[in-house]
Amino acid sequence: MYTYFLLEHKLSARGLKKTDLVSLLGISSRTIAKIAKGEKIANRVLQRIAEFLNCEPEELFSISVDDPVLQTLREEKAIKLPGGLYHELQVRMTYNSNHIEGSKLTEEQTRLIFETRTLDIKGGVLVDDIIETVNHFRCIDYVIDVALEPLSEDIIKRLHLLLKQGTKDSELPWFAVGDYKKKANIVGDRLTTAPEDVPSAMKKLISDYSEIPHPSFEDIVAFHAEFEYIHPFQDGNGRVGRLVALKECLKAGIIPFIIEDRKKSFYYRGLSNWRQEKGWLIDTCLDGQDTFKSLLHALGIEEGNK
């Protein structure tokens, strides 16, 4: 099924309705009815409308998906709708995910960067905190775009590239932006997978996950945990891992989760003890799912089936 939300938005910006296309372009009322029903219309007609609106045909429609959350995100992203789900996901997930990893930017500053591309600086602010905030916005856009694609190493590496490009780390010759780590790293007191073993470990992790026909919430959390145990990148693993979890929730039609910075101690405990006690991390992620559900309820968006 097709959704012509973008067409309607462009017409509305000009003070027009779909029915005005009948008199303005000579389009039949039958075609207008097809648009209203979400049916495909002829490419030549779509091209004529696009020329009238001075845009590409692909900018007028999208193929609707079953999940109302992903559909809403795609529609709102296309027109950069303020104050909606897309807007709030960008601000809240970016702030919390970056703050968990040490960013000093406040939620208000994060919101200001997203909404106005400006920053009210009070005290010292690291340039990398600002760069990685903007980069994280781009990562969420990418996740929304590729949500329905099968998870792959290319997608995961692309997320790392988007997140870390332009940072001081990207200037280091040994720091592989958009590729797996070259040097060993430690999380807490735990040595992660050795650099030479990361490619095979990641291939197996993705392969095993791809064999699950319909991943559950617990399957996605398990992938996230094992990803963090591998720790495939030199830095940025937590944020990339949470972005991958967002993508896979959207793909499966499952309500995503946002780990709030104030819950990071529970989150870290869950990750640290994952292989001994899986329930702690699952419970923390379910709490993060409740955070997302509260956002949906506040915006009046239906949750779907999962």
pLDDT at 1 over 70: no
Would you place residue 2 in the very low, low, confident or very high pLDDT band (cuts 50, 70, 90)?
confident
Would you list the DSSP string of 18-51? TTHHHHHH---HHHHHHHHHT----HHHHHHHHH
Percent of the chain whose predicted confidence (pLDDT) is above 70? 97
Instruction: Enter the tokens of residue 44.
Output: 């030549």
Over the Cα atoms of the chain, what is R_g? 21
Domain ranges of the chain: 2-63, 68-299
Q: Which amino acid is at 58?
A: E
Question: Mind listing the pLDDT tens digit for each residue in 126-135?
Answer: 899 999 999 9
Alpha carbon distance 73, 89 (integer Å): 9
Would you place residue 158 in the very low, low, confident or very high pLDDT band (cuts 50, 70, 90)?
very high
pLDDT at 141 over 80: yes
Instruction: Enter the tokens of residue 208.
Output: 């095993």
pLDDT at 169 over 80: yes
Alpha carbon distance 284, 274 (integer Å): 12
Cβ neighbours of residue 82 closer than 8 Å, sequence gap 6 or more? 115
Write the secondary structure of 213-262 as one string of H (helix), E (strand) and C (coil): CCCCHHHHHHHHHHHHHHCCCCCCHHHHHHHHHHHHHHHHCCCCCCCCHH
pLDDT at 260 over 80: yes
Instruction: Count the Cβ atoms, other than its own, within 10 Å of residue 230.
Output: 19
Q: Partners of 288 in the beta sheet?
A: none
What architecture is the 2-63 domain classified under in CATH? Orthogonal Bundle (1.10)
pLDDT at 64 over 80: no
Alpha carbon distance 234, 283 (integer Å): 28
Alpha carbon distance 14, 199 (integer Å): 52
Alpha carbon distance 153, 155 (integer Å): 5
Instruction: Please provide the CATH number assigned to the domain covering 68-299.
Output: 1.10.3290.10
